[in-house]
Amino acid sequence: MNIKPLADRVVIKKLEAEETTKSGIVLTGSAKERPQEAEVVAVGPGAIIDGKRCDMEVKVGDKVLYSKYAGTDVKVNGEEYTILKQEDILAIVE
């Protein structure tokens, strides 16, 4: 992976529908914002607030739920990633 997100941004890789099924999570929510499952592939150093850097709460390898409409898509070496702010990640899936 050659993308280093800045501040409190995270790079994630969307999980395929199959894998989503395996972990037993089906995402619903037609009337609401639909979440998406993904794996964290890169984590920024954390935002700097009042001169102090805040630790990030997710780490590389975490499987996360995030809002489908959050972030920006990029394609690196033929694979698609999404760069988003940590606050757009809803939860870690274990």
Footprint of a copy of itself (CB under 8 A): 2-7, 9, 11, 23-29, 32-35, 42, 44-45, 48-52, 54-55, 57-58, 65, 67, 69, 71-78, 80, 83, 86-87, 89-94
SS3 state at 17: helix
User: CB-based contacts of 29: which residues, under 8 Å, 6+ apart?
Assistant: 35
Rounded to a whole number of angstroms, the minimum distance from the CB of residue 31 to a copy of itself is 8
CA-angle at 28, arms to 57 and 56, nearest 5°: 5
If the CB atoms of residues 35 and 38 are measured against a copy of itself, the closer one turns out to be 35
38 and 15 in contact (C-beta within 8 Å)? yes
Rounded to a whole number of angstroms, the minimum distance from the CB of residue 62 to a copy of itself is 9
83 and 10 in contact (C-beta within 8 Å)? yes
Rounded to a whole number of angstroms, the minimum distance from the CB of residue 93 to a copy of itself is 6
Rounded to a whole number of angstroms, the minimum distance from the CB of residue 39 to a copy of itself is 15
